[in-house]
Amino acid sequence: MFHSARIKLTGWYLLIIMFISLAFSLVIYSMITREINHFEQAQRFRFEKKLRDFDLPVPPGSNIRAMKILIENPELIEEIKERVAMTLVIINGGILLLAGGLSFFLAGKTLKPIKNMMDEQNRFISDASHELKTPLTSLKTAMEVFLRGKKKNLEESESIIRESIIEVNKLQSLSESLLQLAQYQKPNGHTLFKKISIATIINNAVNNIKPIAKKKNITIRSDVEDCEVNGNKYSLEDLLKILLDNAVKYSPKNTTVNIMSKKTDGHIEIEVKDQGIGIDDKDNPHIFDRFYRADNTRSNNTHDGYGLGLSIAKKIVELHHGSISVISKIKKGSTFTICLPIKQEINS
């Protein structure tokens, strides 16, 4: 699809370039031939004027006679015009070859962002379909088995309903995450930036995650150097809730999660450090990819998730023109570091 589109676009580029080149060549040829004719006429006029002024006989072998023959020779004038035309043809041939290669290269560069966007969209649809298929299949199978059973009782019905609600909750969580990711992926999405307190953002995120941490007896400690930054309050709270939720989710019971912030040169750094299962080196480059889950999380069924949280976190950081990185060791924990510029363009 894109190869044929690239060929067509190359053809259009080449057609435009050659049209301009040929138009210029015609103008140049017309100007040169006009100047040649004008020069020939001017030289003849000056030569005849000199002969009239001096009124000299012209010897048969004189230079003056040779000059007159040269000036009045129409074959020579036509040969000069032909040489000019041939030179322009050769130049246009070179332009055709060069423009063909450059047009093909430029067409590829032009279509590359569109191709990447289409590939990304196709991957998104494929991944989302795969993730949606599992809970839907589970729901369908459970209901079909129940309906095929001859003896149905209230207890079994309640069990089926409870299992179905679990799967429905998973579908709801996935759909909400997909909508959230789509929101932050909008290329022209309008995000309201205002002056906000980092301490307020961190405290709100911590208070939101504390009930989850309490179930595992995990303590969340914060060491915050407050400052005001220009950003979007709700998206930054989402960012920290994602990181804190992951830290709690992948940490064993009776451990500690630390969140710290400090000002650096024109930036604010926020660290979320846990004592969890860690991330393998081979998984590190991919953890911010959509739907990616490390092998050690896939093998542990207690960790629910679809691999969208960190993708959303990265999009939020990019929205604020910042960066996010991670340092992690297996069974030692992970430290996520966010670096955000303090000054951003504020939308009124």
pLDDT band, very low/low/confident/very high, at 299 (cuts 50, 70, 90): very low
Whether pLDDT at 72 is above 70 = no
pLDDT at 10: 86
Encode burial over 320-348: b for 16+ CB neighbours within 10 A, e otherwise: bebebeeebeeeebbbbebebebebeeee
Report pLDDT digits (tens) over 221-257. Answer: 999 888 888 888 888 998 999 899 999 988 999 999 9
Q: What fold does the segment set 194-341 form as a domain?
A: Heat Shock Protein 90 (3.30.565)
Rounded CA-CA distance 175/168 in Å is 10
Q: How far apart are CA 266 and CA 92, in angstroms?
A: 55
**pLDDT for 259:** 93
For 85-113, what is each residue's pLDDT tens digit?
888 889 888 888 888 888 888 888 888 88
What is the DSSP code string of 65-105? HHHHHHHT-HHHHHHHHHHHHHHHHHHHHHHHHHHHHHHHH
Q: What is the pLDDT of residues 193-217, one digit of tens each?
A: 888 899 999 999 999 999 989 989 9
The model's pLDDT over 26-67, given as tens digits with 9 standing for 90+, comes to 888 888 888 877 777 777 777 667 666 655 555 554 555 555
> What's the pLDDT at 286?
81
- Taking 70 as the threshold, does the pLDDT of residue 157 lie above it? yes
Q: What is the pLDDT of residue 225?
A: 87
Sheet containing strand 219-224, strands side by side? 219-224, 256-263, 267-273, 333-341, 323-329
Residue 181 has which token pair? 């990711």
Average pLDDT of the chain? 79
The span from the CA of 28 to the CA of 216, in Å, is: 83
| High-pLDDT (> 90) share of the chain, % | 16
Res 60: pLDDT: 52
For the chain, first and last CA: distance in Å?
Answer: 44
How many helices (DSSP H) and strands (DSSP E) are in the chain?
A: 8, 7
Q: What letter represents residue 298's amino acid? A: R
The tokens for 17 are 């370039």
User: What tokens does 58 get?
Assistant: 């012209």
pTM beyond 0.75, yes or no: no
- 3-state secondary structure (DSSP) of residue 174: helix
- Taking the domains of the chain in order of start, what are their residue ranges? 1-189, 194-341
